[in-house]
Amino acid sequence: MATIGDVAREAGVSRSTVSAVLNGRKLVLPETRGRVEAAIAKLSFSVNAGARALATARTMTLGVVVRFHEAEFSPALATYLVALSDAARESGYSVMLLTEADGEAAVRSAIAGRRVDGLVLLNVVEDDPRMEPIAASGFPAVLIGMPQDTRGIDAVDLDFAAGARLLVDHLAEVGHRRATFVRWPDDLYAAGSTYAIRFAAAAREQASGRGMTLEEVPCAVGPEQVRSALGEELLRREAPGALLVHNDAAVAMLPFALHDVGLRVPADRSVVSLHSAELARLYALPFTSVESEPEAVVHTAVELLVRRIDAPDEVPVARLVAPHLERRDSVAPPA
């Protein structure tokens, strides 16, 4: 592999001139530049990323710290990783995967080894231990997820509250006064899952502001439990004509549950939901919904992180990504 010295010799200039051409800094006579470029092409030279990193103290690499225990529903993970890598590339960065079971250790060693210029923490939860070494060292990082206390670290997440309001409004606007709120099981809220809490709180508030009644049905995960719980609710006398769903497992099974009991959407029931786009695709969900916006979230995250790398001392930022309603004709006025 050719080095910058080989190029310099070939072009009859010094290494620093080649470097100047490479980086576009300083003025180089067009003719000289031409010779250098020809030499580069001839030797098919390309800069050694490691050497450049050493000289500039910039690796142009971001680390993404994947939380290990994915007991939860994780089809979205790949989407986030790929989107992250794409967004990073747009800014000239590569992405390194950090998957140690002990996320905190992963963060520590990434910082210590100076392999990366910044870190993206995926799927951040309340009091996430991965934040500790970052907060302590001030290393550039961005959280995806929005804990109460971001400990001075930049953070991005979907605006779940706005999503809840969009969905409630959508039901209210066609005249629904009552809805079943199929939500996560209680322990998830108790565990401090902030997106769940934010969604539920906003849904309740918006509903009451709209004069709407929400009848809450917590729904455990597990296909069979979900299906029977849903079946029961759907068959209940006086059940509302609309369903507001924030529970991936439940919404995935909902088409089948509806089919089981012979109810049609939107004729018999209106349905709106917030879930990941990936889920919608996998299960071909036919519901009007607010979908997570992995590309937008990740794009914002990279933007913040790159800015933070360049300006480590600016005040931390928390950013919510505006959700939008994906209409799929699953809502009709109540009977």
Partner DNA sequence: GCACGTCAGCGTACCGGTTCGCCACGCGGG
Partner DNA sequence: CCCGCGTGGCGAACCGGTACGCTGACGTGC
Binding residue (CB under 8 A) for a copy of itself from 5, 12, 34, 113: 113
**Binding segment for DNA among 21-29, 136-144, 267-275, 290-298 (CB under 7 A)?**
21-29
CA atoms within 13 A on the CB side of 168: 26
Q: Give the H/E segment covering residue 195.
A: helix 194-209
Residue 262 binding a copy of itself, by CB under 8 A? no
User: Between 12 and 75, whose beta carbon lies closer to DNA?
Assistant: 12
Question: Which does residue 151 touch among DNA, a copy of itself, none (CB within 5 to 8 A, set by kind)?
Answer: none
Are 161 and 199 in contact by the 8 Å Cβ rule? The answer is yes
Q: Give the H/E segment covering residue 53.
A: helix 49-56
Burial class for 183, CB neighbours closer than 10 Å (0-12, 13-18, 19+):
buried
Residue 22 binding a copy of itself, by CB under 8 A? no
Nearest residue to 145 (alpha-carbon basis) of 120, 118, 119, 124: 124
Number of residues that bind a copy of itself (CB under 8 A): 49
Interface pattern 1-20 for DNA (x via CB under 7 A) = xxxxx------xxxxxxxxx
Q: Which of residues 44-73 bind DNA (CB under 7 A)?
A: 45, 47-48, 51-52, 54-57
User: Between 43 and 296, whose beta carbon lies closer to DNA?
Assistant: 43
User: Between 116 and 200, whose beta carbon lies closer to a copy of itself?
Assistant: 116
Number of neighbouring beta carbons within 10 Å of residue 145? 21
**Binding segment for a copy of itself among 15-23, 203-211, 276-284, 326-334 (CB under 8 A)?**
276-284
Residue 320 binding DNA, by CB under 7 A? no
d(CA 284, CA 116): 38
- Chain centre distance of CA 70: 15
User: Between 202 and 229, whose beta carbon lies closer to a copy of itself?
Assistant: 229
Secondary structure E strands in 177-269: 178-183, 213-218, 242-245
Instruction: Determine the residue type at 141.
Output: A
Residue 301 binding a copy of itself, by CB under 8 A? no
Q: Which of residues 23-82 bind a copy of itself (CB under 8 A)?
A: 44, 46-51, 53-54, 59, 61, 64, 66, 70, 73-75, 77-79, 81-82
Q: Cis (ω within 30 of 0) for the bond into 30?
A: no
Residue 97 binding a copy of itself, by CB under 8 A? yes
Are 334 and 176 in contact by the 8 Å Cβ rule? The answer is yes
User: Between 44 and 148, whose beta carbon lies closer to a copy of itself?
Assistant: 44
Instruction: Determine the residue type at 291.
Output: E
Residue 235 binding a copy of itself, by CB under 8 A? no
d(CA 138, CA 143): 13
Per the DSSP assignment, residues forming a β-bridge with 249 are: none
Number of neighbouring beta carbons within 10 Å of residue 97? 12
Question: Which does residue 75 touch among DNA, a copy of itself, none (CB within 5 to 8 A, set by kind)?
Answer: a copy of itself
* Token pair 């969905």 in the structure block, residue: 167
| Site of interaction with a copy of itself (CB under 8 A) | 1, 44, 46-51, 53-54, 59, 61, 64, 66, 70, 73-75, 77-79, 81-82, 84-86, 89, 94-100, 109, 112-115, 222-224, 256, 259-260, 278, 282-284
Q: Which residues bind DNA (CB under 7 A)?
A: 1-5, 12-20, 22-23, 25-29, 31-33, 45, 47-48, 51-52, 54-57
